[in-house]
Structure formats: C-alpha cells, structure tokens
Amino acid sequence: MTWGAPIALVGLALLAFPILIHMMGLGRATVRPFPSLRFLEAARLLPSRRTRIHDAALLALRLAVLAVAVFALARPSLGGNVAIGAGEGVVRAVILDTSASMRRETPSGGTAIAAARRTADTLVSAADAAITVATDDPAGAVAGAVAWLASKQGDRELIIVSDFQRGAFDDAAAGTVPSWVSLRGVRIPVQGVGAALDMRFRQGGREVTVRSNVAGGRTQASWTPGSARAVGGTTPTGQGTTETTTLAGNSDGASVRAVNEAALSVGRPIDGPSFFARVVIVYPNFEGRAALLGAATPLSEPWQGALIGQLQSDSLLATSASDAEIVVRDSLRADAAVAARARGGEAVVAAVVDGAGPAARLVLDVRADAGSMTALALRAALARAEAMAPRELEPDVLSDSMVATFDRPATADAPTARPADGAVGDTDAPSLARWFWVLALLALGAEAVYRRSLATRSAVVEHVER
Amino acid sequence: MSDARESVLSPTVVAAIDDLELSARLVVEGMRTGGNRSPFHGYSTEFRQHRSYRAGDDLKYLDWKLFARTDRLYTRQFRETTNVPVMIVLDSSASMDFPDGVSKHRYAAIISAALAYVASDQGNAVGLMTMADGALSYLPARGGRQHLRTIIAMLDRLEAAGTWNPAHVIDRTAQLMRRRGIVIVISDFYDDEDATRRALQRVTMHGHDVSVVQLLSPEESVFDEEGQVEFVDLESGARRLTDAGAIAGRYRDAMHDFVTRTRTDAVHAGIDYVRLSTDMPPERALRDYLQRRGARHIAGHAHRPMSR
C-alpha cells in the first residue's frame, strides 16, 4: 500500500479528539481548593490513565470513521512505487575526481586518487543513501549526480572529492548545482603543486611530451614530439585509462587491425592511472560470443555507466550506427545498456558486464560487421573517451579559500522525489480512495445506528427506574 | 525539652485555643522550658565614663573599688542602648487559608503572636505589617505590653483573603522602619518569586536583619491526591482539571525545586531561612527558629553593631 498524499496522514492526530471527549465524559472530578496552581502547571497533560473507556464500541466506531476518512484523503493505492518516501536521511552523491592530476602524491605518501577513494568511502558509508561518481571531469558529472539526488528523499548533499586542479571544478560548475542540494568540496592535498608537469601521450603514431608550468600567473605548455612508434591494433592495445580487448572471428583479423590503426590517432596519455577500465569489444564472428554474452550481467559500476554515456554522446558513433547494417539479430538482454542504435531503434552496440569486482570487464556487443563504419566509429569513440582533456595540463590547484566558496547548505525546499524510471507512479496504480470513502460512510452509518440503539436502551432503563 | 512536652502542644491543640494571646504565651512558655538564650539580645546599659561624685547621686552607681584605690568618690555613668525594632511581615493572602483544620494562616498568626511576645518581653519594639485586600495594614514598632496587646488583637482579627504583593509590602516595611532592625517575613512565598527575592535583597542591603519563614502545609508538600481532581486556586479562583495520581511525582519535584530555590536565594542574599510546616508543634518550630537566630545574632553582632 502506498500513499499518494502521505501528508494527509497527519490528520490521524484528529483521533485524539474522540478519545479525549470520551475520557472527559467519564466520572466527575473532585473539586479541591488549593493554595496555588503554579506547580500543577506541568500536569496540564490530560488524564493519562483510564480504567474504563466509556462505551468502547461507540468510541471504536467513531475512531474508525475518522481514521478511514483520513486514509482516504491520503490517496492510498496498491503496489506502486516504494522508492518514493524511502531513503529519508542524508543522501549523498560523491563526485570522485580520477583525472590524471590525481596521480600525484599526497604529502603523507600514496597517490591522491587512493586517498580520494578512501575519503569517498568514508563519506558514502556515513550517509543513508549514497552514490560515488568516479570521473575525470568533476564539473561534467554534476548534472548526473544531481539527477540521482533528485530521485531520493532526504537531506541531499553533493560532495566533490578532488585535488581541485585548476579547471576541474569552478564557480560555473558550482552554479549548476540547484539550491536544494547542499554542496561541499573536499580537497585532497597533493605535492608538487605549481611545479612543472610532464605528461607523455600518444598522438597519431608518435609519442608527444607536454611540459606545462606556471610562470607569471599564466600556464604555459611546451610540446616535444618524440620518436615515431608503431601503434599496434593487437590485443590488448594501449596503456591508457582503458584496456581494450577486441574479440573477433579469425577472418576478421585484417579488418580489426585496419579499424584500430585508423581510429587510434587520437591523443591519449601513456601513463594511465592505477585504475583501469577494461573493455572488451565482441564482433559477431567471434566463436565464443554466445557463451560470453550468455554469462554476462548488467552494468554495475559507475565507470561503466560513465563510459556508455560518453559513447552515447559521441556524434560520429551515433551517425554511423544509425545507418549500420545489423548482421546479428539475436534477442538482446532486457537489462543490457545500449550505446548506439540504428535508425529503426534496434541496438547496434549493446553493453553488458563480464565477471565481477575489480576484474569486471565491460563487454561491448557490436551487432554490425567487424570492418564496418560502426566498428571504426566505436573504436574512435572509445579512444576519445580516454583522451586527455587540455585541463589535465594545468599544474596549479585552486586556493583553499576558493574551494571554501563552493561550500553552501541547501537553501530551497527540496522537490519531492521523482519516481525512478520504470516505477509505477500514483496515477498508474488504481487509487483505493473511493473504497475508503465507502468504508467511512458505512462506519458512519453503523455509528448512527449504534448511538440510536444506546439511546433507546438508556430510555428503557430510565423508564424501568421510574 | 522532652518529646512528651512537645506532644502536649500539638498544633491542633494550640490552634483550638480561641484566645491568641493565651496560645502565644503557651507556645512561648513551652519553648522557654528548653532554656534558650534570647535571640533579641538587649544591650540594656553600657558603661561610658566616670565623673566626680556630686551630692544626690545614687549611691549604687558609686565606684567603690576606685574609691578604695584612689580615695576619691566617682560616679559611674552609663549610656543607655535601645533594643532593635522587630517588624513582623505576615502574608494574609487567600493562599494561606489552607488546609482545613490548622490553616497556614492560623499557624502563622500563632507564630507571629509568639514572636511578638518574645521580642516584647526582651524589651524590643515590635511592629506588624500585613496586606489585606490590597490595603496595607501597619502597626509601627513600639515597646510595651499595651502595644503587644494591640498587635495580638490585630493578628486575631486578620482574615486570610485576596492576594498580596510581597515586594510592595516588604519595601514599604523597610521604608517605614526608621532604624535598622529585624524584619521577619512569614509567607508561603508562592507569589512573584523574583520580585520578592529582589525586595528582600534591597531590605538586607539597607542594613536590616531579614529572616524569611516559609510556611507550607503537608498537604502541599506531600500531595497525596488521587484520581481526577479539579483544583481551584484559592487566590485567583482559576480551575484546573488534572489526573492527580499521574502528576503527583512531577508536582512533588517542582515543589521540592521551589522550596530549595527559595532557601538558596535567601541564603545567598544573607537572609535567614526557616521552613515551617503546619504539622510541626509551634513551640518547637519557634524554638528552632529562635535558636538559629540566636546563633546568628551573636555572630552578626560581633562585627556589626546594630545600635548606637
């Protein structure tokens, strides 16, 4: 049973009135003169004990009329969305910065990313409901985190755990956080702030080194091209933030190599963080495809969703998938995430997860040919997803006072939680209110009949006494 | 004093005597068998100087020892000191008209009369201040048996009615006392706690020696009511319906706090505090009070001479 208007249940307090009236009607109080009522003040609570409730049946009927009417006002319905109203308390979304700058050491040793994860775990465990969004773009993750908070009830908090590298999160990003969400920044201190930052990454077939430093209040970057180096389309490829494995049929070898060569001209950092996103691309001709997909599970970790989100927003992948020629048409898991769709709405790239825990791999089931444009666009989109953002070259971090300006409590009243997707809203569930009203009327009728019968009975007694 | 003696003078017996003067004397006599020191110590006379004997001087004041040493006749001269005035401030509001039987009002009247008796006996000037129906009634502090009779007659006529304004009464008492003296306030102290406390402090600061006698009945402090009781305020007539059994605990706590607070406030202001209950034998109550006063009086005068 769920309530469309749970606030109406406050009306149950009305039940106190009939009880009080019944209690008052019972017995005469002894009248006693007393020097001062001063210390009887605390006793203004009404009689707390009663040995006998006057006409318990009549009282019960009256209470039933009121209670049922109040329930009817609260718009009861069967089944429906239990998520609403649940999870009261502190609801937290923790945005965990996993960008390259977080690979720096903290003053106490260890990488900033490890310290940030520990902080995030503490914050999450202290909340009644929480989510950790691990992202290399904290500002970009705000919208998703706020959307998640909107689906929950309670004191909603958004916490950014980051080194606050310049450009990672700023006033503009803080401004996008609605006023009903309290915002807090937790800084992970890092060493080497402001020192020159070296980063190697792959650009086309070359390795490029970028050194950035702060001079005269400006950040300057110098680019040094390295020696040419072959970029393999072999398995696995790259040392970036994503470890991508391609699973294809024996006949597809040439196509896969060509696709990888063509796609991997996007710049990507070489020294990846300790955290790897393992991605497996499966083409239709791979022999173990049916077994792999059969054993797969739905998406379970934030990074998987984040990656799918990036793929969905990749315009090249979307365009090529819309015209894709779908070669396998086996039924799709109901809980699979779709990264790209054909014009007709069929899934072209579907995502599931193979394995669990740290060894979990995101399996991208490509339903088009290994040498197709879609395969190329997917490979390129994956590469872009892990490409280094220019802000990663910023060696400086925001000052503590600047981070402190992000902190603010929630000022506006929170909107009521939106039902989660797929949940049944109160408009969908059949309302039981009318049946409650019928019940209330019946109880009212019964009360009237019973009252009349009581009156007759006392009249008879009176008559006999006379 | 033996317990048997105390039991003879139970509050009911004393209150049953119609003649207030007689009951007051009874109480005082009962108390005196204990052999107490007087609390209102007189300084009747004090040696001042010698002067040469002149014809006509009373021979009893001749200093014979000095005559033996010096062979001259000297007369001893004394300075006469007066005893301190004692003002009794009595609460006669309607809240004192409780309980039935020995009411706080009657008990307070007996105690006041006995106090007046003792003080007058010691040669002190005694006065009385009460407030009945909003009007002050005042008898200035004077000595003498005739004045004592007037006071006792007034106490006898007094009826507990209406409300009283303790702060006003206490302040006015202090204003009307021309000399520093002893002020004894007898009340249940239900009304206007803060104002009363401040008024008492003011009076103390003017140099008066203040005592408060908080008089409560066992019915108020024990409170063993049961069931549904509608209490009617004796002063305001306000009514309140309560489940007495359920609130008894909280009432007793609040009452205990109130009594403790009154005592603490008094002690902090350097005021003598005595709590009396209407079920105490009045002569014992009086003796307890006077004993304490006596101790305080002696200690007080060691460093603070009261009269000139």
B168: Cβ contacts below 8 Å, ≥ 6 apart: B131, B136, B199
Any residues with CB less than 8 A from the CB of B107 and at least 6 apart, and which?
Answer: B11, B15, B215, B276, B278, B282
Residues A150-181 pLDDT 10s: 877 788 889 999 888 877 888 888 888 888 88
Least CB–CB distance from B255: residue in A37, A39, A48: A39
Question: In Å, what is the CA distance from B92 to each residue of B184, B188, B259, B286?
Answer: 14, 10, 19, 19
Give the C-alpha separation, A19 to A421, whole Å. 44
Q: Is A32 within 8 Å of B227 when comparing Cβ atoms? A: no
pLDDT at site A278: 81
Contact B233 A29 (CB under 8 A): no
Residue in A closest to B226 by C-alpha: A30
The per-residue pLDDT for B197 is 92
Q: DSSP assignment of A348-414, as one string? A: EEEEEEES-GGG-EEEEEE-B-TTSHHHHHHHHHHHHHTSPPGGGG---B--HHHHHTT-B---SPP
Which residue from A31, A35, A42 is facing B95, i.e. has the nearest CB? A35
Per-position b or e across A128-158, b if 16+ CB within 10 A of its CB:
ebbbbbbbbbbbbbbebbbebbbbbbbbbbb
Domain segments of chain A as ranges: 2-77+432-465, 90-193+397-404, 230-386
Judged by DSSP in three states, A137 sits in coil
Per residue, what are the HEC states of A246-300?
EECCHHHHHHHHHHHHHHCCCCEECCCCCCCEEEEEECCCCCCHHHHHHCCECCC
- What pLDDT was estimated at residue B296? 55
- Which among B217, B235, B242 has CB closest to A40? B242
Q: Is B243's Cβ below 8 Å from some Cβ in A? A: yes
Pairing of strands A268-269, B228-233: unpaired
pLDDT, position B10? 66
pLDDT digits (tens, 9 = 90+) for A433-452: 888 889 999 999 988 888 88
Mean pLDDT of A326-352: 85
The structure's pTM equals 0.41
Which of chain B's residues have a Cβ under 8 Å away from the Cβ of A31?
Answer: 229-230, 232, 239
Can you tell me the distance from the alpha carbon of B154 to that of B21, in angstroms, rounded to the nearest whole number?
11
Please report, for residues B18, B109, B112, B134, the alpha-carbon distance to residue B13 in angstroms, rounded to integers and kept in the order given.
10, 15, 17, 32
The pLDDT of residue B90: 94
**Cβ neighbours of B304 (radius 10 Å):** 10
* φ, ψ at B186 (rounded to 5°): -110, 120
CB contact under 8 A, B229 and A45: no
- Label residue A346 exposed, middle or buried (CB < 10 Å: 0-12, 13-18, 19+): middle
What CATH number was assigned to the domain covering residues A90-193+397-404? 3.40.50
Question: What is the reported pLDDT for B301?
Answer: 38
The span from the CA of A417 to the CA of A174, in Å, is 22
Rounded-to-integer distance, Cα B297 and Cα B289, Å? 12
Chain A, residues 16-45, CB within 8 A of chain B, namely 27-45
Q: Which candidate from A28, A33, A45 shows the least CB-CB separation from B234?
A: A33
* ipTM for the whole complex: 0.75
Chain B interface disruption, residue of A23, A28, A38, most B CBs within 10 A: A38
On whether any CB of chain B is under 8 Å from the CB of A172, the answer is no
Cβ of B295 under 8 Å from any chain A Cβ?
A: no
For residues B119-130, one letter each, b for 16 or more C-beta atoms within 10 angstroms of the residue's C-beta and e for the rest, the string is bbbbebbbbbbb
Q: What is the pLDDT along chain B (308 residues), one digit of tens a residue?
A: 333 333 345 676 666 666 777 777 777 776 665 444 445 543 445 677 888 988 888 888 889 999 999 999 998 887 655 567 899 999 999 899 988 888 999 999 999 998 888 888 777 889 999 987 778 899 999 888 899 999 999 998 888 888 888 999 999 998 998 888 889 999 999 888 899 999 999 999 888 889 999 999 998 888 888 777 888 888 888 888 887 877 888 889 999 999 999 999 998 988 989 899 998 888 888 887 877 776 554 333 333 333 33
Q: Number of C-alpha atoms within 13 angstroms, CB side, residue A91?
A: 21
- The phi-psi region of residue B95 (left if phi > 0; otherwise alpha if psi is between -120 and 50; otherwise beta) is alpha
- Domains for chain B: give ranges and CATH numbers: 3-39+84-303 (3.40.50.410), 45-80 (no CATH)
